[in-house]
Amino acid sequence: MLLCYMRQPSSETLYRYAEILIWFALWSESWIKAWDVVLIQVPECAKAMILPLQTAVMKRWWHPLIRFYPDGIIRNFFELANDEQLKYKPKHEMLWRVDDIDHLVSIIADADKHELEWIDPKKIMMSSKETKFYRDAMDAKENKGDFTWTLWLFWTPQMAEEVWLSLEEYRNQIIKACYLDEENPIEKRQQLSNDISHVKDHLNSLPIQWLHVKWQDIDLKVQLGKNRQRLWGTWRNIPSFEVFISPDRRWTEWWYKCNQPLYRYGSLITWIELRFSWWKVVESRASQHEQLLKEMIATENADRIWEFSLTDTRFSRIDTFMWETLYDENMWWPFWNTHIALWNAYKDSFPWDVSSVTPDQRFQMWYNESVVHTDIVSTSDRTVVATMTDGSEQVIYQWGKFTFL
């Protein structure tokens, strides 16, 4: 266990990382208040970040609320839990938490990447379904502009070992991806944000009706639909360089293969193949942990697409598979990546005030609603052809780059 805390980089790097997360990722520019409450969720193997994060929060005159999770408790829970224990959630306490906090800092860090690998996927899905009220409450608060969050990655020897890297090599990927080696990483992130925002604005100016993605391992047609805008990763995920949209859940056709594994619930799902008919997945395959994939897709409304994303080779410096979607969906090797996500739609794709629209209304406008969501990534080459509302066509993405830049 001590390996999790050994060989850390300089404290300057840790504090610089914390500054990006608190000052850049959580801040919404239009509002920032003294005495906001920031919930920092820290697993045991990321303990080295507690003091830097607490310091960054208190320097802003915010209140840090730290929740510390010992390693191993999640697996122990799922090994022992019966159906009633899986379904139980302290609803009043969880809703109080949403009401009381203004910001959330979530850390991805694992002491054991295989912690849930042999847990029955049905148990995981059963427990996940019971937390929908909690996610809905956070979404509603965020949509009103009263809540921000950030998700980011820490490094452990076990995480590095899984992708055949030394701890130093794994850590350096994170340092490089987040520009922690820059004198002013926040300034660099803001510059990149502006560049990606220009891409998003250009795409939003095009009257695109359909996207057709073609190459040897993909032939996918996605209808974008009305009442939507293209988005980009902005500052919530650290890092993020993608441009994405929540398409019309009714119209997705043909097939999609991905050459990158999907790490989910402690398992590595490899060589995923999905076949769509009209709007839903009608066939799914994987060479490893296929049953977990099928259980996820079998969840209510989880057989429909909720995100289509492209990333340009000119933005990110991530060039190694990290076995974490946060990074793998931004990896540029060998031809950058395209990814889709099934399950729940990202509501910020709504072009006006989403807080004024109920979940039922969003569903009627063909935004998918589900309790789970996961990105499925491929880095093979592809060409993306946009069909406009007048029937004309334009290649918008090729060789890992947007063609209009």
pLDDT tens-digit map of 10-20: 688 999 999 99
The answer on pLDDT for 228 being more than 90 is: no
Average pLDDT on 205-227 reads 84
CA dist., res. 46 & res. 14, Å (int): 11
The answer on pLDDT for 178 being more than 60 is: yes
pLDDT-wise least confident of 81-95, 196-210, 343-357: 343-357
Percentage of the chain exceeding pLDDT 90: 35
Higher model confidence: residue 104 or residue 139? 104
Among 185, 193, 105, residue whose Cα is nearest residue 151: 105
Percentage of the chain exceeding pLDDT 70: 85
Q: Which residues are CB-neighbours of 174 under 8 A, at least 6 positions away? A: 153, 154, 155, 180, 327
The answer on pLDDT for 30 being more than 60 is: no
Average pLDDT on 146-171 reads 93
Structure tokens at 318: 């991530």
Mean of per-residue pLDDT scores for the chain: 84
The pLDDT score that the predictor gives to residue 3 is 44
Average pLDDT on 52-60 reads 94
Residue for token pair 């560049």: 195
Average pLDDT on 164-176 reads 94
Helices (H) and strands (E) in the chain, counts: 13, 20
pLDDT band at 1 (very low <50, low <70, confident <90, very high): very low
User: What are phi and psi for residue 70, nearest 5 degrees?
Assistant: -65, 145
Distances 55 to 6, 27, 42, 99 between C-alpha atoms, Å: 21, 16, 15, 24
> What does the CA dihedral 221, 227, 231, 235 come to, rounded to 10 degrees?
-140
The answer on pLDDT for 376 being more than 50 is: yes
Q: Which residues are CB-neighbours of 402 under 8 A, at least 6 positions away? A: 199, 243, 310, 312, 396
The pLDDT score that the predictor gives to residue 2 is 40
The pLDDT score that the predictor gives to residue 171 is 95
> DSSP 3-state assignment of 392?
coil
Structure tokens at 7: 């060989």
pLDDT-wise least confident of 30-34, 297-301, 339-343: 30-34
The pLDDT score that the predictor gives to residue 151 is 92
Q: What is the pLDDT of residues 67-87, one digit of tens each?
A: 999 999 999 999 999 999 999
The answer on pLDDT for 381 being more than 90 is: no
Average pLDDT on 111-123 reads 88
The answer on pLDDT for 131 being more than 70 is: yes
Return the number of other C-beta atoms located less than 10 Å from residue 350's C-beta.
22
The answer on pLDDT for 290 being more than 80 is: yes
The pLDDT score that the predictor gives to residue 367 is 59
pLDDT-wise least confident of 27-31, 73-77, 148-152, 184-188: 27-31
Is domain 2-181 classified as CATH 3.40.50.300?
A: no
The ranges assigned to domains in the chain are 2-181, 192-402
Question: Is the Cα torsion angle 335, 391, 246, 277 positive or negative in sign?
Answer: negative
The answer on pLDDT for 153 being more than 50 is: yes
The answer on pLDDT for 390 being more than 90 is: yes
Structure tokens at 157: 């020897």
The pLDDT score that the predictor gives to residue 40 is 96
Full-model pTM: 0.83
Q: What is the pLDDT of residues 322-365, one digit of tens each?
A: 888 889 888 877 667 778 776 555 566 666 566 666 666 665 55
pLDDT band at 54 (very low <50, low <70, confident <90, very high): very high
The pLDDT score that the predictor gives to residue 394 is 95
Is the CB of residue 175 less than 8 Å from the CB of residue 9?
Answer: yes
Average pLDDT on 370-384 reads 79
Residue for token pair 């410096």: 317
